Copies of this chain bind each other. A is one copy, B any other.
C-alpha cells in the first residue's frame, strides 16, 4: 500500500482548504496512491497518530467543492516547531511509526515558514534513515512572506478583502463634513504585503487610503503627524492604512512604545495594537476625531470575498505538491513563478524547501515611496492580478455553506 497523508499548519487562511482539495483531486485522479488520510492539528496529528480518514471525502465532489470555499484549516492546525533530530529524535520516531502503521509513503504539509522548516527537517531525516517517504510542502500565508514563490496562497484573497473593505470604509468615512482620521491596522508583523494591498482600493479610481505605512520602513512620529495634517488640509475624512508590526525609528514596535504606560484597573498592561497607539497620538497632537480599526481575523477568514485567482492557484498548488510527491521529489515546496503581469501568466514549480524555511520575504524598499507613506506602481503591478475574479460561493439560508471534516 502506498498511502498519502496531508496536514495543515500555522494561521488559517481562506485558501488553505483549496490546497487540501487540490491534493485530494490528485489522489482521486491518480493510480499511485491507495488511501489518503489527514493528520489532525498539523504535525501533532502525525506525532500522536491522530488521523482522519479522507477516502470517503474524495468521492463526494459536492463536499470537495464546498470545502474549497470553506475558510480556515479543516484538518485543524498547530504552532508546533520541530527541534533538530540530533537534539530531540523522539517526535521523528513517532512520526515514522505513524507513517509505517498506515503505510504512508507521501506526506504533504500545507503551511507557512515554520511548516516549511518541518518539511525540511522531516525530509532530511527520512533521507538519512533511508525511509522510502516523500515529504513536500504546500505554501500558505496571508503575510505573503515565503521565499521562492511569487506569492502565497491565501494572500490574494486577504488582499481582495482588504481592498474591498478599504474601498467600503472610504465611502463610510467620506459622509461627514468634519475633520476625522481613521487608522486601519492590517496583518503583518514583519512583512507589509497585505497593508500594501490597501492601495488596490484605488483600482477603479477611488481615493483608497490617503496614507500607507508598511512595517518595512521605520515610522517617524513627527513626519506621520505632518502627513496626516497635510491630508486634513485637503479633505475632512482621512484614511490611513498601517501594518500591525509597524516600528518607530528606535526600532521599537509602535504598539509597544505608545501603550507601555497604560494599565487597567487591575494594574495589567493594556495590549494595544499599532492603530490604537497612533489613534492616541493623533488625538494628542491633532485633537480631531480619530478612530482605530483592526481588520483582525476577518482579513484571513473572509472566504465570502475570496479571490478566484487565489483559490484556483491554491487548488493547483495542491495538485502540484501531490505530483511532486508521487514523482519521487522530497524536501521541496510547490511554488508559483510569474511569467508576466499583463496578461497575468504563471507556472507552477517545485523549489528546495531548505531555501524557503526560516526566510521572510519582505517588501523591497524600492516598492515604498521615498516619503514612506505610500507604495509605488511596481507594487501595484505586482498586486493587481492577485485579487481578480470572484468565487462561486454557495449560500444556504442566507450565509455561505461550509464543509467541516470534524
Contacts and interface: CB of A to CB of B under 8 A. Distances in A.
B400 A164 contact: yes
A265 B270 contact: no
Interface in A284-342: 284, 291, 293-298, 300-305, 307
Interface residues of A, number: 75
A241 to B, nearest CB: 14
13 contacts: A12-B175, A41-B176, A167-B399, A169-B301, A171-B402, A172-B301, A204-B396, A204-B401, A264-B270, A266-B284, A268-B283, A387-B399, A390-B395
Most buried by B among A169, A295, A305, A398: A398
Contacts of A71: 168, 171-172
Most buried by B among A168, A169, A298: A168
B387 A41 contact: no
A384 interface: yes
Nearest to A296: B293
B261 A160 contact: no
Most buried by B among A8, A173, A266, A300: A266
A9 to B, nearest CB: 9
Given A176-B77, A399-B387, A304 B305 contact: yes
Interface in A372-406: 384, 387-390, 395-402, 404
A262 interface: yes
A46 interface: no
Copy tally for this chain in the complex stands at 2
A72 interface: yes
Contact of A169 (B41, B167, B297, B398): B297
B305 A160 contact: no
A396 B205 CA distance: 11
A175 B76 contact: yes
Interface string A173-217: 111110000100000000000000000110110100000000000
B268 A203 contact: no
B261 A264 contact: yes
Contacts of A283: 268
Given A398-B307, A399-B201, A168 B264 contact: no
Given A78-B176, A168-B304, A258-B264, A203 B397 contact: yes
Contacts of A266: 280, 284
